[in-house]
Structure formats: structure tokens, C-alpha cells
Amino acid sequence: MFGWLKRKFTGSTEGSAAEKHGDIMLGERDCHSHIIPGIDDGSRTMAESLKMLALLHAEGVRTLAATSHMFPSRFDNQPDDLQRGFEALERARDDAGIELTLQLGAEHYLDEDFVARIKAGCIVPFGPESYVLFETTTGAHAPSNLLDAVHEIRDRGMVPLVAHIERYQYLRDEEGHEMVEDLRSAGAQFQVNRTVGKANRPGLGGRGRMIAWLQARDWIDEVGSDLHRPTREGRPYAGDELLLAQRSG
Ligand SMILES: [Fe+2]
């Protein structure tokens, strides 16, 4: 019934390696990025942000959600901070002539106070769906307020979007899969990160098996790059000479 959805996000270039492996690919909309410079572990400068925009544009992205971290004690951003950075990014995009629509969102961190922050309106929904993108701890134990947060977002007419759902160990076993079903029933939607090389290739490793399990149910709603750097992989720190020096030192 939802075969179109699977086709929408999987490799479609005829005969390509991506098609052979059924890789997860970006569509015209990328729902997860760290593109606003200087406010989290994503882009460090506006020049870097513009390179990231050009890279995503070349991959076919035409609408990009800027979802900087709102992670208390680690990246203590408030909605106003994101708004200021976003407006500067829009001006730089216009000056550079990159034809890509930007939407302001955030990647919220679900800690013990997340429900209180939702009630206080300290969240940044984006897009026509009013998606509230959030991540959680990735360990073996589910946060106790996970379903409460989903209900709280739904009750306010917004759509909870679980960030890179393939990452969470606590959702991977049988009990975890039941929790995914509960999240789904409560109205949560799921975002996965695109395949880069073998990372996040459906069926491969813990993350890939989770992605294949979701695909079998047509439960992948959105794909994101989660781009932090102007490289295809886009991970933070990988090319950071200072951190590499610290690690080897
Ligand atoms: Fe992210």
C-alpha cells in the first residue's frame, strides 16, 4: 500500500550500487541538519554553511530544515538564538544565489525536563506538519518520559518526529520493537539518516537492521543528512585537526 514511500527514499539510479543495496537516499526535503553556523557542533562558519548548502543542493535537496541542537547544558540554545542565526543564514544563501528553501526547526534533546519545555513553548516546530524533531539517549534503557513527550506534542497539534531512530539501542530488541509500535500508535513519526558508504545501509549492522525492520512496515517518514560538516559523510570532528591532535596526544 505504501510502496511509493519506500521508493521515494531508496536508491533509484538504475544499476547503481545505491540501488543494488537499497540505500536510503535524500529526497527533495532534508529534515535534519546542523547548518546554522557557530551555535552547536555543526557548521563553524558561514562559509562552511554555504558549502554544506551547495553540497545538499547537488544531492537534489530543495528544502532543508535547519535543526541545530537544543540540548540543555551542552548546547544551551533558546528559540531566539536559533532565529537570529537562521536569518543570517537566509541572507547569506540569498547573496550566494543558492536556490534552496530553508525552514527553521531544532533537534531537541529529550531529558527529564523536556515535557516541561514543551508545555512552556520552548520548542521550535517546522514545516507544514509542525514537526518537533527530538533525539534521546542512545543506550540500552528507554527514557521513562518518551511516550509522555509524544503525547504532549500531539496534544498541542504538532507532530513528534524521532531523530535518527535507527540509533537507539533500546528500540532494537523485541521489547524495543513493541515500544516503536507504541510510539507509532501515539502518533510519532520516524526520521532515519541517509546511507553513506556502508553506514546505515539497510540490513547491515544494528542500525541497518533497524532500518530494514522499519522499511518492512513502511515506517520511514523522513530522511535526513544530519550534516555537520561540508563533506558527504558530514560528521563533526572527523576532520577536526585539533581534536585529532588531542586524541593522538
Ligand atoms: Fe543531529
pLDDT of residue 19: 80
Taking the centre of ligand 1 as the mean of its atom positions, its distance from the CA of residue 162, in whole angstroms, is: 11
What's the gap in Å between 168 CA and the centre of ligand 1?
A: 13
Q: pLDDT tier at 13 (50, 70, 90 boundaries)? A: low
The whole-number average pLDDT for the span 205-232 is: 96
Minimum mean pLDDT among 10-19, 29-38, 224-233: which range? 10-19
Cα torsion 79, 84, 90, 92: sign: negative
Q: How far is the CA of 183 from the centre of ligand 1 (A)?
A: 20
pLDDT value of residue 21: 82
For ligand 1, the distance from its centroid to the CA atom of residue 203, given in whole angstroms, is 22
Interval 89-98 mean pLDDT: 98
The total of structural domains in the chain comes to 1
DSSP string, 3-57: HHHHHHHB--STT-HHHHHT-B---SEE--B--STTSSSS--SHHHHHHHHHHHH
pLDDT higher than threshold 90 for residue 120:
yes
pLDDT at 216 over 50: yes
User: What pLDDT does residue 29 have?
Assistant: 98
Write the pLDDT tens digit of every residue in 35-49. Answer: 999 999 999 999 999
| Residue-range definition of the domain harbouring residue 22 | 3-248
Distance 138 CA to ligand 1 centre (A): 13
CA–centroid distance, 1 to ligand 1, in Å, is 30
Span 217-229, mean pLDDT? 97
* CATH code: domain of residue 172: 3.20.20.140
pLDDT level of residue 243 (50, 70, 90 thresholds) = very low
